[in-house]
Structure 1
Amino acid sequence: MKLIKIFPGHFFLILIFRSITLIIGGLLDNIPGFVLAVIGIIFSWLMPILTTKYTIKHPIIFPHLLERLNLLVIIIFGETIIGIADYFRPNTFSLYSILIFLTVALLFFTYALQFDKFTDEDQDDVTGNALIYLHYLIIFGISLITVSIKFIHETDANSWFAVLCLYCGVGLFYLGLLFATRYNKPQFKLRRSTILVFLITTIIGATSCLIWSSFEVITILTFIIVAINISWLVHLNLPHIKKGILL
């Protein structure tokens, strides 16, 4: 009973700390206020680590936490779909509109494959902190991708910044999925070849887009990179995926 009282109390204090820093930062309405608000947000993200000694004694229900994080990511991907809606107007629709949509769809499929098929939900004695923090990377990655897609077609936009923003997002997304492999089922154990393929293709894609930084090239290359990566992932694990579907 004491543990149950202590555990929510720590998170309540974290919430109070973040709220105070955001309120003060908003009231100051200047650079120091902005810095204070950012510090408050960052510390509130990091503070749950301090509760590890309590959560390890009272492990979370892993499937429930994963389900809620999955729903959050689905919402974020929904925002991405809304963000690319401008490419589907009568005066802007083109082949590149379809490629952008397919790129987002393949990224979502990659996420779903990792957490729906590869992840073992039967996790004992886990705090859930790692799962939460790796989802920060995934969510930040999707957000960067969304932002870059919305202005990457603009002629007056800085193409280098757009490409860096896009591929930083893709990199963070894949990095979050990499950390998630710690929860994989034995048959879906991460292979070194998978890391190399994802790393090499992403670097080649980013470099090529920086060299040939037109909207058309960026759209085509990014689609190809994402398609290659998910194809490799499916190819390596297809026999086990088929068994899982049949079972």
Structure 2
Amino acid sequence: MAILLGFHDIVIWIDVIAVITGAFLPFFLKGHFDEGVINFPHLVERFELLTIITFGEAVVGMTYFFDVTSFNITSILVFLIVISMFGSYVIQIHNLVNHHRVERSLRLMFSHYFIIISINLMTVAFEWLHSGEVNPHLEIGVMIISLIVFYASIMANKPYYKEGIKFLNGDLVKMILFTAVGSFVILFSMENIYLFLSGILIITLGNLSVLAKIQKKYLK
């Protein structure tokens, strides 16, 4: 039985390694590739739909924060967090990115792996917050990691920007600053749910404001 169990574990790990290798190895392979076979607009559209579905699932997973009989500030803050994250994604991927281009699109594909993962991690962190059964340190750590991964992943697509749009060093500094300050607030929130949510909002609304400013500046 022990031998069979060991063999079963090995097979599972081989499967996991095979999936990860198949997903990420193309990013490191160099050589001739016919970029014309990639329909970039269609690919962006597919990933946008997948992300919208993931955000929808996140909202469904947070329904316990919304009670029509006792609507409170917590519900509003949670809703603002999701909306501001979605707004950042829409501005960055849908509005600023040039969809009509010929690309191998690996950056787009791999970044969306992590975008989806980060949204799901955020949902899990909120579920832990509501249940109150998980160590606050773990909950805080997962939330901060999910937010950092989310914004790093959407910003990884800035090389696809439309012609003339520039992401300046000052914009990067602002996003890092908002993320750092928000993370600091989250770290010291512990049992205070309002402080916890406020820290998240500093990150999400702050980064949204930076992207919205870029959009307003370059897209008339």
Partner of 1:212, secondary structure, is coil
Q: Alpha carbon RMSD of aligned pairs, Å?
A: 2.3
Partners of 1:62 and 1:121 within 8 A in 2: yes
Q: Which moved more, 1:184-193 or 1:64-73?
A: 184-193
Instruction: Name the counterpart of 2:21.
Output: 43
Pair 35,95 (structure 1): closer, same or farther in 2 beyond 3 Å = same
Answer yes or no: is 1:220 the counterpart of 2:198: yes
Instruction: Name the counterpart of 2:60.
Output: 82
Instruction: Name the counterpart of 1:165.
Output: 142
Answer yes or no: is 1:107 the counterpart of 2:73: no
Partners of 1:141 and 1:173 within 8 A in 2: yes
Gaps of 5+ in 2: none
Instruction: Name the counterpart of 2:178.
Output: 201
Partner of 1:152, secondary structure, is helix
Q: Report the alpha carbon displacement of residue 29 of structure 1 after superposing the two structures with TM.
A: 8.9
Partners of 1:164 and 1:206 within 8 A in 2: no
- TM superposition score normalised by structure 1: 0.78
Amino acid at match of 2:85: L
Aligned-partner Cα distance in 1 for 2:82–2:203? 12
The total of aligned residue pairs comes to 215
Pair 183,167 (structure 1): closer, same or farther in 2 beyond 3 Å = same
Q: Which has the higher contact order (CA 8 A, sep 6+)?
A: 2
Amino acid at match of 1:103: I
1:13-51 deviation line (CA, Å, top 9, x unaligned): xxxxxxxxxxxxxx9796444433321221121244477
Q: Of Structure 1 and Structure 2, which has the larger fraction of its residues in helix?
A: 1
- TM superposition score normalised by structure 2: 0.87
Partner of 1:187, secondary structure, is coil
Instruction: Name the counterpart of 1:184.
Output: 161
Q: Report the alpha carbon displacement of residue 156 of structure 1 after superposing the two structures with TM.
A: 3.1
Partners of 2:181 and 2:202 within 8 A in 1: no
Amino acid at match of 1:113: I
Aligned-partner Cα distance in 2 for 1:171–1:63? 27
Partner of 1:188, secondary structure, is coil
Partner of 1:81, secondary structure, is helix
Gaps of 5+ in 1: 1-26
Aligned-partner Cα distance in 1 for 2:70–2:6? 42
Instruction: Name the counterpart of 2:39.
Output: 61
